[in-house]
Amino acid sequence: MRKILYMMFGCISLVLGIVGVVLPILPTVPFVLLAAFCFARSSERLDGWLKNTKLYKENNMKNGMTKQAKIRIMCSVTLLMSIGFIMMGLRGIVVGNLVLLIVWIFHIVYFTFGVKTV
């Protein structure tokens, strides 16, 4: 039963990751990594298949990311977080804006210095 649940979550995560390739609003890497985790727990065959796909190889952050991919991720996250920042600012939620600002800064620093550029 557990393997079936992992398989289902892996398939859902993979579909969301594929949709994230097309839509900049949806991040690709976390969903592909979640699919890899779920497939590794459910089936060796699915795990091997996923790791040999182009989607997994291009979004595997162990080897680094292209400059274009890093910029695309940083811009889409900045756009989404700015929407939340504006919405909370209109309602006067100062603590929420502060938290979003801190998360955004760490996100930019991480992708600039923490992820190797290929």
- Which tokens hold the place of 95? 């603590």
Which pLDDT value is given to residue 83? 86
Q: What is the mean pLDDT of residues 86-91?
A: 85
User: Are the C-beta atoms of 23 and 79 separated by less than 8 Å?
Assistant: no
- Supply angle C-alpha 115, 47, 34, rounded to 5: 50
User: Can you say how many angstroms the Cα of residue 91 is from the centroid of all Cα atoms in its chain?
Assistant: 28
Cα 30 to chain center, whole Å? 3
What is the pLDDT at residue 73?
81
Contact assessment for residue 3 and residue 41, using Cβ atoms and an 8 Å cutoff: yes
Cα maximum dimension of the chain: 51
- Domain segments of the chain: what residues? 2-58, 67-114
- pLDDT class of 52 with cuts at 50, 70, 90: confident
